Structure 1
């Protein structure tokens, strides 16, 4: 796997149907390396610390492979890397093959896969369509949150190399399906 884009975003205030929404989901590719710290990506806005950032969700990775699926549904959008709020756009990040606890090296950093991303209304704001939230839940294209075990810089072109596999743990996709089922019972 290869990192094809490093993405950061600024704090943005949006008027969403008469309501003020503060978000950092509008991320765009950088032309330089980004610094992955233990609780966040340096220079990247985190506007809701309860659900983003922190030790277990310091970095969000999303697969470029999933972009084709979404582009067909949202062909009217102007597409760029970072569309899903990811810090790292990775060639073929497959949630069904990454286990919770798997450890990767990329650039100067060591990352541990921790959990899937659960979509929120800010994804709908980003796509200018709240349908994306339910559609996102129905796919196993959650992306992956990572813990930073060794901080440092990563850049586009860096390989994401598996250095420890935790195959006794559930995959990220399995955890996401479980959360999806649990959520459906709560609705």
Structure 2
């Protein structure tokens, strides 16, 4: 049993420049008070700047563990406030986002969410940390956080318990998929053992694994 420490939302805003052009992102999120509606493909009040690569049913909600945030705080010698830098919608405690199994289902408040893929960072993470090496560091740390799809819409709020209601019997975890995509392509075929892996990602992996 884990705990939801905060629900974080954000709107697209400038975060820096790339090749002389301004870059917008909703990666900077802030905790909100009270109960928050989770429906459609989003948390109420949250938006994405580029729908081509962010958001959608298989990236509806992003969860990151406070334990991983604390690890980064020590590693980078800086504060890691909830939602501010990694852009997670859910800051959790006591639930292992890294070793969650693809297809695992979490009951939070009146919602039911399903773990479906890791976060694969883009250059905007480097902009947010003002460190172009952050993408490589993030990959090597194997602490990617978990994207969740919405199975049952409802409301959530800080302090809610996080209960794992269902866990598939395969061994394909968030960490395994992230490592296969970013660090070790020999792991790619193993990731295909997860039926709940998003179809778009599965197709890419099948082609790459060949």
TM-score under structure 2 length normalisation:
0.81
Task: Please say which of residues 152-161 and 91-100 is displaced more in the overlay.
Answer: 91-100
Task: Please say which of residues 42-51 and 11-20 is displaced more in the overlay.
Answer: 11-20
Equivalence for 1:116: 118
The answer to whether the 8 Å contact 1:3/1:156 transfers is yes
The list of structure 1 runs, each at least 4 consecutive aligned residues, that deviate by more than 6 angstroms after superposition, is none
1:114 CA drift (Å): 0.2
The answer to whether the 8 Å contact 1:38/1:147 transfers is no
Task: Please say which of residues 119-128 and 154-163 is displaced more in the overlay.
Answer: 119-128
Equivalence for 1:4: 5
**Mind listing any 5+ residue stretches in structure 2 that lack a counterpart?**
186-207
SS of residue paired to 1:72:
helix
Equivalence for 1:29: 31
The answer to whether the 8 Å contact 1:38/1:149 transfers is no
> Which residue among 64, 67, 89 is the counterpart of 1:65?
67
Equivalence for 1:86: 88
1:42 CA drift (Å): 1.6
Equivalence for 2:41: 39
Change (3 A) 1:15 1:104: closer
The answer to whether the 8 Å contact 1:66/1:141 transfers is yes
Distance in 2 between residues matched to 1:93 and 1:47, nearest whole Å = 28
Equivalence for 1:148: 150
- Number of residue-to-residue matches in the alignment: 182
Deviations 1:80-118 (A, max 9, x none): 100211000001342453111011100010000000000
SS of residue paired to 2:138:
helix
Equivalence for 1:106: 108
The answer to whether the 8 Å contact 1:101/1:169 transfers is no
Distance in 1 between residues matched to 2:130 and 2:7, nearest whole Å = 23
SS of residue paired to 2:43:
coil
The answer to whether the 8 Å contact 1:5/1:156 transfers is yes
Q: Report which structure shows greater RCO (CA 8 Å, sep ≥6).
A: 1
Task: Please say which of residues 65-74 and 142-151 is displaced more in the overlay.
Answer: 65-74
Distance in 1 between residues matched to 2:63 and 2:16, nearest whole Å = 27
